[in-house]
Amino acid sequence: MESARSGPLAGLLVADFSRILAGPYATMLLADLGAEVIKVESPAGDDTRTWQPPVHDGVATYYLGINRNKRSVVLDFDDADDIELARELARRADIMIENFRPGGLARWGLDYDAVAAINPAVIYASISGFGRTEAGAALPGYDLLVQAISGLMSLTGEPDGPPYRAGISVFDVIAGLHAVVGCLAAVHHRNATGQGQRVEVNLLSSALSGLVNHTSAYVAGGAIPHRMGNGHPSLFPYEPMPCADGDLIVAIGNDRQFAKLCGVLGVPALADDPRFRRNQDRTTRREELRPLLVARLRTRGKLEWFQAMNAVGVPCGPINTVDGGVAFAEEIGLDPVVEVGPADASVRSVRNPITLSRTPPDYRWPPPTLGEHSKEIRAWLRSADEDGGA
């Protein structure tokens, strides 16, 4: 089966037994960097194929967003012959990624021990919701559940309002990124030693790591963080600030930036005021400082302030909708959108965020239709000659 992929991961075969978000996001990033990714789907297909609207040419944009540069093969695990093909794929794979419930693949001989027995060099990555302890394995691994259980929702929303979920499945994405890091670390180890290994990532551990300063506040300082709306527990001003015609995000991270802010607002004396000179002073006295800043901000529109603050290096920004975010990235030259696939059947997709000077990501194939490559992959798996690669 011909491939001719380029990129830093060219030559690596990834058997993708994952679905929904965390696993497919991880395998797409690997595919963008040149790995050959074979997406194994049931006859019903990846659940996200049905997560619509919105759609593009009748296909769920959710699915399209995390499955480019892959090939799809349909394997029915109720069919003994298809199970053998799945095992053969696992035997040939450099990396296998799955996000079944812990232990779920054992019944088909596709768990780590079974795959490692026939492919000792395999890097076998498992993504779960709560790990594979007996208690954790019993829990379904949905991002919303982890947002609630981890404490994220307790941090999101107004202080006197209900907790809220984040606007995206943030821990699925973080877990996917952690899985990629783990796989690449294991690849490096295998290159040095020839040894494969198991890589395990779970959403709850990724969440606790991803909550960074908030979990550190508790485990290192004994403080339990709480909802502050758009405020920051350790910085001020670091939130939306009202201007004459709406809010502007002002993000002051140090005393030097605060002095620049005071200068552009026309109140330079505030930077030397002993009440506000240091960050910890501004943070503890935010209710005193806020009205002094707002009084100046309300004299001009948010766009005027945005331009004036940027001119002197004060971190600030508008609150955009998603279309505005894409437009802003285009405006500053980041080229956030790529066309994937041939011109007559291309799909617009979000650019891989990694820039490599010598081996950049490529965007060769649009997300596959269900079983689009089943015929060629099945034939390749049944062939005795595997030396040609995927």
- 241-265: pLDDT as tens digits: 999 999 999 999 999 999 999 999 9
On whether both 317 and 374 belong to a single domain, the answer is no
pLDDT of res. 389: 47
In a domain, 289, yes or no: yes
What lies within 8 Å, CB to CB, of 280 at 6+ separation is none
In a domain, 233, yes or no: no
pLDDT digits (tens, 9 = 90+) for 299-322: 999 999 999 999 999 999 999 999
On whether both 49 and 133 belong to a single domain, the answer is yes
On whether both 144 and 281 belong to a single domain, the answer is no
On whether both 325 and 346 belong to a single domain, the answer is no
On whether both 274 and 167 belong to a single domain, the answer is no
In a domain, 177, yes or no: yes
| Closest C-alpha among 41, 337, 331, 9 to residue 183 | 9
Domain residue limits at 267: 238-330
Q: Domain count for the chain, please give it.
A: 2
Task: Output the domain CATH number for residue 175.
Answer: 3.40.50.10540
pLDDT digits (tens, 9 = 90+) for 28-64: 999 999 999 999 999 999 999 999 999 999 999 999 9
pLDDT digits (tens, 9 = 90+) for 3-25: 667 899 999 999 999 999 999 99
Instruction: Show which residues are catalytic.
Output: 172
pLDDT over 50 (residue 173): yes
The predicted model scores a pTM of 0.93
pLDDT over 60 (residue 387): no
pLDDT over 60 (residue 388): no
On whether both 103 and 160 belong to a single domain, the answer is yes
Q: Average the pLDDT over 190-218 and give the result.
A: 98
On whether both 179 and 263 belong to a single domain, the answer is no
On whether both 274 and 292 belong to a single domain, the answer is yes
pLDDT digits (tens, 9 = 90+) for 142-158: 999 999 999 999 999 99
Task: Output the domain CATH number for residue 326.
Answer: 3.30.1540.10
Q: Token match 């939306």: residue?
A: 240
pLDDT digits (tens, 9 = 90+) for 113-144: 999 999 999 999 999 999 999 999 999 899 99
In a domain, 227, yes or no: no
Mean pLDDT, the chain, integer: 95
Distance between CA atoms of 390 and 383, rounded to whole angstroms? 12
End residue of a domain, out of 311, 330, 349: 330
Q: What is the DSSP letter of 160?
A: T
